[in-house]
């Protein structure tokens, strides 16, 4: 397996001996895993541990391969007051809560995405926009979570992203497209009182990203007044900022949620990076 790198961002006042008082959210994405420790009462993130594999798709690893990631197993062995798991990938389908039929979740998912072999179709809600999400996870990862964190709720990252953007209360929201870059796919969101547009798209080039973005703007009839907000950890973001700026009214980088306190070490990375992790308090 490719070498794993670990980076820890801690608050000066964080003491691991207090973990039994804190909540924890474990994030899984294709190229990294993050463990975020939260003081709910203080609305404060105490620590974030980022476990990275630059070219290894963590979501495709076998159960035995996942168990070989020792920093991950160390994080999973820690004891907290409560734990949740967030999985971010493009294989998700949003549905109104009122229409969610748990018996038909696989059929709903197949309308938008092929079902992965040896996988499970899961669903969750996050008290946002009366919306639920159906998503597809390989059995290997589900096994790791259920064996090691059996009582943990599993949430899809799409709902956390939507909830975090909604909480920001952007002005002129109907003209804003929120573009979240992930390894190999993007999320595009427009939300103004309600979700006006949400979808995921695979991409191979920056040009494709711009095409999907402009197509969404055309569908929403905001092509001539479109503002774009960029999120994610991708090295493409800097050049995308310049490229997208040629086609839309305004483009800006996202900022972390305003109502929470973060470790001073979060200044080591840009505001738009680790946006969902910075929004971990909204999992509650």
Question: Which pLDDT value is given to residue 59?
Answer: 95
The Cα–Cα gap between 46 and 15 comes to 9
Where does residue 30 rank: exposed (0-12), middle (13-18), buried (19+ CB within 10 A)? middle
Given this model, what pLDDT does residue 56 score?
83
pLDDT in tens, 154-188: 999 999 999 999 999 999 999 999 999 999 999 99
Q: How confident is the model at residue 1 (pLDDT cuts 50, 70, 90)?
A: low
Give residue-wise pLDDT tens across range 221-236.
Answer: 999 999 999 999 999 9
What is the average pLDDT across 54-74? 93
Beta-bridge partners for 134: 93, 123
Residue 218 structure tokens: 């055309």
Cα 173-125-202 angle, rounded to 5 deg: 65
**pLDDT > 90? residue 66:** yes
On whether the CB atoms of residues 275 and 229 are closer than 8 A, the answer is no
- pLDDT value, residue 2: 62
**Residue 3: per-residue pLDDT:** 82
Q: Are 192 and 174 in contact (CB under 8 A)?
A: yes
Rounded distance, CA 30 to CA 74, Å?
20
C-alpha 271/C-alpha 258 separation (Å) is 11
Quick one: DSSP state of residue 103? G
143 is written with which tokens?
């096994």
pTM of the model: 0.96
pLDDT in tens, 9-32: 999 999 999 999 999 999 999 999
* Span 92-150, pLDDT tens digits: 999 999 999 989 999 999 999 999 999 999 999 999 999 999 999 999 999 999 999 99
The dihedral formed by the CA atoms of 241, 245, 248 and 253, expressed in degrees to the nearest 10: 30
- For helices 206-220 and 237-244, what crossing angle results, to 10°? 50
Paired tokens of 39: 């003081």
Give me the mean pLDDT over the 38-49 stretch: 97
Q: State the Cα–Cα distance between residues 220 and 214, nearest whole angstrom.
A: 10
Task: Give tens-digit pLDDT for 237-272.
Answer: 999 999 999 999 999 999 999 999 999 999 999 999
Strand, helix or coil at 13? Answer: coil
Mean of the per-residue pLDDT values for the chain? 95
Q: In this model, does residue 55 exceed pLDDT 70? A: yes
Percentage of the chain surpassing pLDDT 70?
Answer: 99
Domain boundaries, the chain: 92-146+156-161, 167-253
Rounded-to-integer distance, Cα 202 and Cα 213, Å: 12
pLDDT of residue 190: 98
Q: Is 148 exposed, middle or buried (0-12, 13-18, 19+ CB in 10 A)?
A: middle
Tell me which architecture the domain covering 167-253 has in CATH.
Answer: 2-Layer Sandwich (3.30)
pLDDT confidence of residue 53 = 83
């Amino acid at each position: 397996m490719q070498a794993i790198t670990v980076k820890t961002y801690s608050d000066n006042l964080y003491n691991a001996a207090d973990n039994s008082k804190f909540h924890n959210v474990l994030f899984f994405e294709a190229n990294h895993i993050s463990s975020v420790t939260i003081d709910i009462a203080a609305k404060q993130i105490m620590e974030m541990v980022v476990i990275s594999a630059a070219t290894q798709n963590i979501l495709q690893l076998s159960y035995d391969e996942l168990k070989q990631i020792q920093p991950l197993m160390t994080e999973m062995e820690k004891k907290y007051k409560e734990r949740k798991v967030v999985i971010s990938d493009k294989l998700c389908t949003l549905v109104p809560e009122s229409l969610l039929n748990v018996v038909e979740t696989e059929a709903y998912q197949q309308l938008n995405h092929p079902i992965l072999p040896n996988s499970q179709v899961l669903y969750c809600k996050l008290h946002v926009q009366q919306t639920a999400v159906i998503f597809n996870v390989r059995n290997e990862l589900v096994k790791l979570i259920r064996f090691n964190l059996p009582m943990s709720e599993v949430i899809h990252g799409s709902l956390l992203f939507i909830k975090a953007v909604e909480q920001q209360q952007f002005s002129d929201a109907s003209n804003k497209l929120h573009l979240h870059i992930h390894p190999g796919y993007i999320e595009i969101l427009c939300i103004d009182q309600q979700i006006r547009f949400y979808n995921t798209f695979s991409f191979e080039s920056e040009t494709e990203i711009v095409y999907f973005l402009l197509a969404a703007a055309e569908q929403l009839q905001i092509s001539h007044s479109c503002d774009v907000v960029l999120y994610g950890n991708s090295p493409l973001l800097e050049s995308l900022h310049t490229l997208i700026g040629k086609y839309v009214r305004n483009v800006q980088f996202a900022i972390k949620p305003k109502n929470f306190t973060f470790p001073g070490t979060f200044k080591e990375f840009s505001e738009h990076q680790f946006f969902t992790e910075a929004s971990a308090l909204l999992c509650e």
